[in-house]
Amino acid sequence: MLKNYRMKIALAQLNYIIGDFDYNTAKIIETIQSAKKQGADLVVFAELSVCGYSPRDFLEFSEFIDLCEVSAQKIAAACSGIACIIGLPTKNPKVKGKDLYNSAYFIEDTKVKAIVNKALLPNYDVFDEYRYFEPAVNFSCVEFMGHRIALTICEDMWNINDNPMYVISPMDELVIENPDLMINIAASPFSYNHDEERVQILGDNCRKYRLPLFYVNQVGAQTEIIFDGGSLVFDQDGSLLDELPYFSESLKIYSFEYGKIIGHKPIVHDTQNNIQQIHDALILGIKDYFAKSGFSKAILGLSGGIDSALVCALAAEALGPENVMAVLMPSEYSSDHSIQDALDLVNNLGCKHEIIPIKEAAAAFGNMMNPVFKDLPFNVAEENIQARSRAVILMAMSNKFGYILLNTSNKSECAVGYGTLYGDMAGAIAVLGDVYKTQVYKLSHYINREKEIIPENSIVKPPSAELRPGQKDSDSLPEYDILDGVLYEYIEHKKSSAELIAMGFDVALVKRILRMVNIAEFKRNQAPPILRVSPKAFGIGRRMPIVGKYLG
C-alpha cells in the first residue's frame, strides 16, 4: 500500500569531467541542494556521474575505484532529507568474473539504500564496457516513498528491437515485481540521428511495460565523444511528456502521483536539422576539449579554402575570436584570391592572424634534397614538403605561445587518405574529421545563415590543396557529391562492394574508392582524435586492421 502518493523527481543533466572527483562531487552536491530547495524528493544523475563517462583504463587503477567510493560517501553525507541516484564503478565482491560493476547507488537520508548493477554491457562502436565490467544477473526494484522503482542503466533498456543483441532484458525481470515507474540513468553519446532513435526505443519500453519513464542523459564532450543531454520523460503510453535542452546543462523537477506524471501533456519530439545538431555538437566538442584540458587558445592554418574557414569560424564561436590564431602560409602556388579570402574571414571574425610564407622553407628543403632526388620530376614528395613546412610553423607557434593546433581535414579526405601525414593531418583534435565534404558546405551555409562570415568565394570555388600549379581536388578524387555517396554507404551502412554496385554505383568507381579507403588506414591510425558526430566515426568507433586485403 502506498505510504506517500506524491513524489517529486528532479532530473539533473550535467557536464562531468573524467577523473575530476572534486569537481564532479561538488557539482552533484550543489545540484542536490538546489533540487532540495525546490522541493524535490529524489534527484537523478547520469551513468558513471561520479567519475565521468568513460574512464576507460582508469578503471584498472584500484585508487581510482577507491576515490569513486570516497566521493559517493561525500555525496551521501550531503543527501539529508532527500534521495538521489548516482552512477559509479563498484567492486565485484565475487572472485569469479570481472572485478567491477557499472553501478547506480540509490541514496536516501545519507545512506546507500540500494545498489543496482548494469546488466547489458555494450561492446560495439565507441563502447567497450565488457572490457571492465561484470554484467548483473540479479534484478530487484527499489522502494521509495511507497513507490516501487525499476532502476536501470542506459543499455539495459535498449534490448527491445526485433534483432536483440542480448539474451536477457532487465525490465522483463523487474516488471515481475510490479513497479510503478521506470528510471534510467544514461551516458548516451551524440550522433546526428541518435536523438530520434532514443525517443523511439524509450517510448517502446513504456508501451511494452505500461509504465512511465524518467530518463537522464549527461551532457558535454569527453575528448572525441560528445554527449548531447536531451533527457526525456514519458507516460505509460509511450507519449513524450518533456525533453530537456540539448548541448546544455539542466535541472527540472516533475511530480509523480498515483502512477502518473502530473502537469504535463504529450509533446512532439523537437527534431532538429542534422546540420544544426552537428554545428552545436562541434561547438560543445571544441569548448570542452579546451576547457577540460586546461587550454584556452587555438591555432590553425588558414588557406582560404572552405575546410579551414569553417574550422576557424567554429573555433571563434566556441572559444571567442580573441583566442583563435589563424596563420596564413602561402606557397608559390597559392592564388592571390585564396589569400584575400582568408583575410576576409579573419576580418569578419575578428580573430588574430599572421602571414608566414613557406616559399623559402620549401626551397631550402628542395636544395637540401637535390643531391638525393637528382633529376627526378616534381611529384608528391615536393607537395608534401610544403604541407609539412606548414606543420612545422604551426607547431613552432604552438610551442612558443601555448596554442593548441586544430586539425582541419574533413571526413572525405580522411577516408581516402587525401592528406599529408605530419603535415595537414597534424593537430591535437580533428574538428571536421567526422564531417563529409558535402556536409562542410552545408555547415558553412549554416554559419552564414544571418550574415556572411565565411566568404562566399571560399564556398563556391573548386577545392584545391594548392601544392602545384592549377591543382584541384578533382584531379585526384571523384567529385565530392559522388565520392561522399559511396563513402557514406560503405562507412556508415557497411555496404560491400557488391551491394554498392547493385545500388547503381559504377563498378570501377566503387573499386577505386574502396581501395583508397582501405590502403589509407595507416594514415588514420596516426590521425588526431576526431570529434564524433555521426553513427560511425573514424577512431575508436571504427577499428580496422592496417595490413589487410579485404576491400569490402
52-86 pLDDT, tens digit per residue, is 999 999 999 999 999 999 999 999 999 999 999 99
pLDDT band at 1 (very low <50, low <70, confident <90, very high): very low
Question: Tens digit of pLDDT for each residue in 439-467?
Answer: 999 999 999 999 999 999 999 988 776 66
pLDDT band at 159 (very low <50, low <70, confident <90, very high): very high
Annotated binding-site residue numbers for ATP = 301-308, 408
Question: Tens digit of pLDDT for each residue in 423-446?
Answer: 999 999 999 999 999 999 999 999
Could you tell me whether strands 232-234 and 240-243 are parallel, antiparallel, or unpaired per DSSP bridges?
antiparallel
Among positive and negative, which fits the CA dihedral 93, 96, 100, 103? negative
Residues 6 or more apart in contact with residue 339 via CB below 8 angstroms: 304, 328, 330, 355
Nearest-10 crossing angle of helices 274-293, 306-319: 60
pLDDT of 162: 78
* C-alpha neighbours within 13 Å on the C-beta side of residue 69: 11
Q: Cα 136 vs. chain centroid, distance in angstroms?
A: 27
Residues 6 or more apart in contact with residue 399 via CB below 8 angstroms: none
Q: Is 118 a catalytic residue?
A: yes
Annotated binding-site residue numbers = 124, 188, 301-308, 384, 408, 413, 523
Residue pair 212/184 in contact by the 8 Å Cβ criterion = no
> Which tops the pLDDT comparison, 300 or 2?
300
Q: CATH 3.60.110.10 in the chain, residues?
A: 8-263
Cell readout for 62 is 584500484
pLDDT of 538: 96
Please report, for the chain, how many H helices and E strands are present, in that order: 16, 20
pLDDT of 475: 75
pLDDT of 237: 97
Cell readout for 250 is 539542466
Burial of 39 (0-12, 13-18, 19+ CB in 10 A): exposed
Q: How far apart are CA 51 and CA 391, in angstroms?
A: 36
Catalytic residue among 118, 252, 292, 297: 118
Q: Is 47 a catalytic residue?
A: yes
Residue pair 357/365 in contact by the 8 Å Cβ criterion = no
Q: How far apart are CA 362 and CA 384, in angstroms?
A: 10
Question: Tens digit of pLDDT for each residue in 387-426?
Answer: 999 999 999 999 999 999 999 999 999 999 999 999 999 9
Percentage above 90 pLDDT, the chain: 90
Q: Cα 98 vs. chain centroid, distance in angstroms?
A: 27
Of 399, 400, 367, 403, nearest in space to 385 by CA: 367
Q: Which residues of 250-269 are buried (b: 16+ CB within 10 A; e: fewer)?
A: bbbebebeeeebeebeeeee
Question: Prior bond to 331 cis, omega within 30?
Answer: no
Among positive and negative, which fits the CA dihedral 181, 184, 19, 68? positive
pTM given for the model:
0.95
Question: Tens digit of pLDDT for each residue in 116-146?
Answer: 999 999 999 999 999 999 999 999 999 999 9
Question: Tens digit of pLDDT for each residue in 83-124?
Answer: 999 999 999 999 999 999 999 999 999 999 999 999 999 999
Catalytic residue among 154, 206, 312, 351: 154
Q: Is 84 a catalytic residue?
A: no
pLDDT of 469: 73
Q: Which residues of 443-455 are buried (b: 16+ CB within 10 A; e: fewer)?
A: bbebbbeeeebbb
Whether the pLDDT of residue 3 is over 60: the answer is: no
Helix (H) or strand (E) holding 276: helix 274-293
Average pLDDT value for residue range 261-274: 91
CATH class of 8-263: alpha beta
Q: CATH 3.40.50.620 in the chain, residues?
A: 276-468
Catalytic residue among 36, 47, 141, 155: 47
The CATH H-level (homologous superfamily) assignment of domain 276-468 is HUPs (3.40.50.620)
Average pLDDT value for residue range 141-170: 93
Residue pair 171/184 in contact by the 8 Å Cβ criterion = no
Annotated binding-site residue numbers for deamido-NAD(+) = 384, 413, 523
Whether the pLDDT of residue 239 is over 80: the answer is: yes
Annotated binding-site residue numbers for L-glutamine = 124, 188
DSSP 114-157: EEEE------STT--GGGTBPPP-----EEETTEEEEEEEGGGG
